[in-house]
Amino acid sequence: MSSFKIASNIGALEAYNALAKLNSKTQKAQLRLATQKRINSVADDTSGFNIGKSLEAKVALMHAAQKNVGSAKDMLATAESQLVSIRDMITQIKAKVADSGNAAADLSSLAADVRAIADEINSAISSTKFNDTELLTSTSAAAGSGMTFQTGVSTSETLTTTFSTNVALNAEAVSTDVDTLVGSATRTNFTNLETNLNTFESTVAEALGKIGNYIQRLDAKEEFLTSAITNSQASVSRLFDADIALEQLNATKASIGAQAATAMLAQLNMSPQQVLQLFG
C-alpha cells in the first residue's frame, strides 16, 4: 500500500501542502484585517492596483485644482469688495456735484471734499492686492492678459480672469478733472466732472459684473470637483479597502482548517511506524 512507503510519505506531504496553503490564506486574511486593505501588494490584484493608483493620482490633482478654485474665488472676492467701496465713493462724488447746484453752496469746500474722495479712490486702486499681486492698477494682470488658474486635472483645464480693464485709467481721467476743479471751483467744472465720472462708474459696474460671472463659473467647477473627488474616492475604496466582516470569516475558516490539517499531518507522520508491526 502507498501509505506504508517509508521513504516517501505521500499522504503526509499532501497534508503538509494543504497546511501551507491554509496558513497562507490565514496570513493574507489577517494582513488584510490589520491593514484594512484588500490590496497590500501589486500581486494581490495587478489590474485593480494600477486602476486604483491612477484614481488616487487624479484625486490628488483634483484636490490641488480645488485649492486653486478657492484661491481664485478669494482673489475675486477681494477685488469685488474694493470695487463696491469705490462705487460707493463715486456716488459720494456725484452727491457733491449735485450739491454744487445750490447757489448758496461753498464750492471751494465741495471741491476739497471731492479731492479727498478721489484720493481715496486712487489709494484703493493702488492698494488692492491679493498675495502681493495688484488687482486694479493699469499694469495688473487682471487689467491685461488676465490671471490664470488651473481648475481641473489637466493643465489645459484653466480659467483666466480679466475684469479690471480701464478701471485705473478711467480713475485717472476723473482725477484730472478733479485737479481742474480744485484749481477753479466753478459750477461748470463740477458739471464737466460728471462725464468722466459716469464713464468710470460704468467701468466699475462692468468689472463687478465680470467678477460675478467668474465666481458663478468657479462655483460650478468647485461643485463638479467635489462630486468627482467623492466618486473617485469611492472607487478607490472599493478597489483597496478590505471587507472586514468577510476577511474575519476567511481568517477564522482558514485557521480552523489549519488546525485540522495540523492534526492530520501529525497522524500521517505516524503511519509509517505501523510498518514495524510487520516485524513483531
> How is 143-168 classified by DSSP, letter by letter?
GTT-EEEE-SSSTT-EEEE---TTHH
Confidence band (pLDDT; 50, 70, 90) for 18? confident
Mean pLDDT computed over 186-209: 96
Note the pLDDT of residue 28. 73
Interatomic CA distance for residues 79 and 75, integer angstroms: 6
User: Which has the minimum average pLDDT: 102-106, 117-121, 258-262?
Assistant: 258-262
Cβ-contact 65, 153 below 8 angstroms: yes
Note the pLDDT of residue 10. 73
Confidence band (pLDDT; 50, 70, 90) for 11? confident
DSSP calls for 37-59: BS-SSGGG-HHHHHHHHHHHHHH
CB neighbours of 17 closer than 8 A, spacing ≥ 6?
none
Per-residue pLDDT tens over the stretch 138-158 = 999 999 999 999 999 999 999
Instruction: Classify residue 8 by its DSSP letter.
Output: -
CB neighbours of 218 closer than 8 A, spacing ≥ 6?
69, 72, 73, 76, 151, 159
Mapped onto helix, strand or coil, the DSSP state of residue 236 is helix
Of 254 and 265, the one with more pLDDT: 254
Interatomic CA distance for residues 23 and 29, integer angstroms: 10
The dihedral over CA atoms of 40, 42, 47, 48, expressed in degrees to the nearest 10, equals 10
Note the pLDDT of residue 180. 96
Note the pLDDT of residue 70. 97
Backbone torsions φ then ψ of 197, nearest 5 degrees? -65, -40
Beta bridge pairs of residue 150: 158
Of 103 and 36, the one with more pLDDT: 103
Of 42 and 249, the one with more pLDDT: 42
What dotted CATH number matches 57-239? 1.20.1330.10
Mean pLDDT computed over 102-128: 96
Of 216 and 5, the one with more pLDDT: 216
Task: Name, of 1-15, 171-185, 245-259, the range with top average pLDDT.
Answer: 171-185
Please state, in angstroms and as integers, the Cα–Cα distance from residue 211 to each residue in 18, 82, 207, following that order: 70, 12, 6
Residue ranges per structural domain of the chain? 2-36+243-279, 57-239
Backbone torsions φ then ψ of 147, nearest 5 degrees? -110, 120
User: Which has the minimum average pLDDT: 168-172, 200-204, 216-220, 250-254?
Assistant: 250-254
Cβ-contact 77, 130 below 8 angstroms: no
pTM, entire model: 0.77
Cβ-contact 21, 260 below 8 angstroms: no
**Most distant pair of Cα atoms in the chain: their distance:** 142
Confidence band (pLDDT; 50, 70, 90) for 113? very high
pLDDT at 1 exceeding the cut of 50 = no
pLDDT at 99 exceeding the cut of 80 = yes
Q: Pick left, alpha or beta for residue 245 (phi over 0 → left; psi -120 to 50 → alpha; otherwise beta).
A: alpha
Mean pLDDT computed over 24-35: 74
Note the pLDDT of residue 93. 97
